[in-house]
A and B are shown apart, each in its own frame.
Chain A
Amino acid sequence: MRPLLLRGGRVIDPSRGADDVADVLIVDGKIAAVGRGIPTPDGAIERPCAGQVIAPGLIDLHVHFREPGQEETETISTGAMAAAAGGFTAVCAMPNTDPVTDNQAAVGFVVRQAIRAAKARVYPIGAVSIGQRGEQLAEFGELVGAGAVAVSDDGLPVISSHLMRTALEYAKTFGVPVADHCEDPTLAHGAMHEGLVSTRLGLKGIPSAAEEIMVARDIILSELTGGHVHLCHMSTRGSVDLIRRAKEKGLRVTAEATPHHFALTHERCEGYDTNAKMNPPLREVADRDAIRSALQDGTIDVIASDHAPHHYDAKERAFSEAPNGIVGLETAFGIGMRELVEPGLLSLPNLIERMSTMPARIFHLPGGTLAVGAPADVVVLDPEVRWTVEASQFNSKSANSPFLGEELIGRAELTLVDGRPVFERAK
């Protein structure tokens, strides 16, 4: 592979606190040098990056790629391509496939399909319990040995407090976090957030308390066990308060929030648009603002997309009957720019930290840095371009997005994994 010199971009590397106009030289799939005026090596490809941002590739800790089981909505290959197009060099795939990723063979399948796709890296997340049934612990040792980077029953909460406690204790042996989908199922039979809008639409509501009860429990169990709990897709102001207090106590608690939860509110469900249906649901303005503040001050560590593809037909039905979830990989950065950076809530380096450096750090993944010698997982971003989200432009097999037709700011121009281009935007 010829050396690649990214010339004269704004190099943002939150892992080193760097933000300067500079060049990045990539040789043999690794970062070889970062600095000004790097001479072009013999045979190198030089790419001018003036006006663009060179950053460590984005990392998404929470995606659903539907393979095996629902390949008509997404495969590991199409998902990894969508990730690359969104500027992501690595993603973590949740285990709620059919069959569930609850054994080493299933983890190995995800690893092999990702290698075959050769786009963004896809790290499997193993199930907490066999079949995600919440009864018997999965073999974490075998899962991690085969390549799993975390365990989760996402899509479902770990209902039994005993099982959650055991999982947190047992996962310590292997150094992986337990990622929990926080929801008290006895409170959460609903189609949207419980509030004035659900009352008007006549839809059953999911109260914020359904999430907060489980967040509180998980924090308490983290304190009991010393285990690392990662709280998925936080959506309420009450959850933010609980996490803030847990972090003040120094507990091993990390948390993520999705772009839709910091961009949208439950009013978006009016007109029964099923692309506004997800779990946890879109909440109130005060919740959205609390999530934004939590991303500012680090109470919420990372942005994760919860990319959840669904077939067109599945969303083309009455609201209460439609499945939860939206695609997010190809819009996440543009939403972050529009909702957080443009209004001045986060700096661009902060956004990249929440989408790359921090995800790598909390799940112990390679990447998230442009340090010399690190694998060249790099994204070149155009931070200024205004573009309109169109279904036909998605690389994902599905287009269930509430952002269709909206203008976003900024997107990936070039995505490199091990120095190899896995996505380059057509001119």
Chain B
Amino acid sequence: MTTALGKDLIGLEGLTRAQIELILDTAEPFKEVSERPIKKVPALRGKTIVNLFFEPSTRTRISFEFAEKRLSADTVNVASSGSSVSKGETLVDTARNLEAMRIDMVVIRHGSSGAAQFLGNRIRSNVVNAGDGQHEHPTQGLLDLLTLRDEFGKIEGLKVAICGDVLHSRVARSNLWGLRTMGAEVGICGPASLLPRGISELGVTMLPRIEDAIQWADALNILRLQLERMHAGFIPSLREYNRVFGVSTERLAQAPKPLRILHPGPMNRGVEIDSDVADGPHSVILPQVTNGVAVRMAVLYLLAGGSPEWATPGSDDR
């Protein structure tokens, strides 16, 4: 089914400003659903959704599942361990079998870049990318945009620095495209060994040191630094990373204006972000998580063919 967003949501690259605004506007009324004693609307009643997680995930999987359940969809979770996936079934066979069960939507998380598009090109059901390799994590990008809009009242003209392991980060790519499309300025900050080739040609401001980012930005989106990066030789040690690139209260005190701090989670406290920053007054990390459910409700709702005007909570649509 083709909707205002197309059939699938694979990435924020290529989405128009109108499409992103539609998702964010649709998310607004859904925020309220999660505040009710009875957290459910019938918008996706009778729809079947499979959450296909080839990579371990807690936050994103649970967030999608709540979004689906609060929209009254019927959901099934498939994790890579204990399923046919671990018995060597290929992605294309998994896709065909799901198709044969006449499901309406697939939410896929996969370790390989392009896996969501691969699936979307081969099945008629709507596909939502919940993170593919180092490519994109569009719903994370959207929830970051929604959080920034909540905090600043607008996105246009904001200066947002994406800090850390941009090379391996799908969150960084989705943020980059989403922020650019919405008219924000994007800064990139991190050790050069963790920045992808050619990133400076994508219309961003390069910020070599975290101090530069703190001087420049309205908000920092601090990426998770995975322990494996040290073993693979990208950085010498987590300790040194924290000393050079870690966001601390002392460093934030140098900011010319109060910054908002975003983090996609899970955090490595004491590595890329100090605990007093994560738990401090500038942190919007928990509002990000709350917005995640609303944004995912909006995406699922729009892909299922819902119109924004039907999204008014309480209306018993269709």
B residues 109-125 near A (Cβ < 8 Å) are: 110, 112-115, 117-118
User: Which residues of chain B are within 8 angstroms of A313 by Cβ–Cβ distance?
Assistant: 90
Task: State whether B113 touches A201 (Cβ < 8 A).
Answer: yes
Decide yes or no whether A195 CB sits under 8 A from chain B: yes
19 inter-chain pairs at a CB distance below 8 angstroms, sorted by A residue, are: A194-B197, A195-B197, A201-B113, A201-B114, A202-B132, A202-B173, A203-B133, A204-B134, A272-B113, A272-B117, A272-B118, A313-B90, A316-B92, A318-B91, A318-B113, A318-B118, A319-B112, A320-B114, A320-B133
Known contacts A202-B136, A317-B90; decide if A272 and B114 are in contact (CB<8 Å).
Answer: yes
Decide yes or no whether A385 CB sits under 8 A from chain B: no
Known contacts A202-B132, A202-B134; decide if A319 and B114 are in contact (CB<8 Å).
Answer: yes
Task: State whether A199 touches B91 (Cβ < 8 A).
Answer: no
Task: State whether B13 touches A200 (Cβ < 8 A).
Answer: yes
A interface, CB within 8 angstroms of B: 194-196, 198-205, 207, 271-272, 313, 316-321
Interface residues on B, range: 20 to 34
User: Which residues of chain A are within 8 angstroms of B198 by Cβ–Cβ distance?
Assistant: 195-196, 199
Tell me which of A199, A203, A313 has the highest count of chain B C-beta atoms within 10 A of its own C-beta: A199
A321 to B91, CA, bound (A): 11
The distance from the CB of A240 to the nearest CB of chain B, in whole angstroms, is: 21
User: Which residues of chain A are within 8 angstroms of B132 by Cβ–Cβ distance?
Assistant: 202
Decide yes or no whether B192 CB sits under 8 A from chain A: no
A203 to B197, CA, bound (A): 11
User: Which residues of chain A are within 8 angstroms of B196 by Cβ–Cβ distance?
Assistant: 198-199, 205
Task: State whether B118 touches A199 (Cβ < 8 A).
Answer: no
B interface, CB within 8 angstroms of A: 13, 90-92, 110, 112-115, 117-118, 132-136, 170, 173, 196-199, 201-202
Task: State whether B135 touches A316 (Cβ < 8 A).
Answer: no
User: Which residues of chain B are within 8 angstroms of A194 by Cβ–Cβ distance?
Assistant: 197
List 4 tightest A-B contacts by C-beta distance, closest first: A202-B135, A272-B114, A318-B112, A202-B134
Task: State whether B173 touches A318 (Cβ < 8 A).
Answer: no
In the complex, which residue of chain B has the Cβ closest to the Cβ of A314? B90
In the complex, which residue of chain A has the Cβ closest to the Cβ of B201? A196
The distance from the CB of B190 to the nearest CB of chain A, in whole angstroms, is: 14
Tell me which of A194, A202, A207, A272 has the highest count of chain B C-beta atoms within 10 A of its own C-beta: A202
User: Which residues of chain B are within 8 angstroms of A321 by Cβ–Cβ distance?
Assistant: 112
Task: State whether A202 touches B197 (Cβ < 8 A).
Answer: no
A318 to B136, CA, bound (A): 15
Task: State whether B92 touches A317 (Cβ < 8 A).
Answer: yes
User: Which residues of chain B are within 8 angstroms of A317 by Cβ–Cβ distance?
Assistant: 90-92, 118
The distance from the CB of A245 to the nearest CB of chain B, in whole angstroms, is: 26
Known contacts A195-B198, A198-B197; decide if A203 and B113 are in contact (CB<8 Å).
Answer: yes
User: Which residues of chain A are within 8 angstroms of B135 by Cβ–Cβ distance?
Assistant: 201-203
Task: State whether A271 touches B90 (Cβ < 8 A).
Answer: no
A207 to B110, CA, bound (A): 25
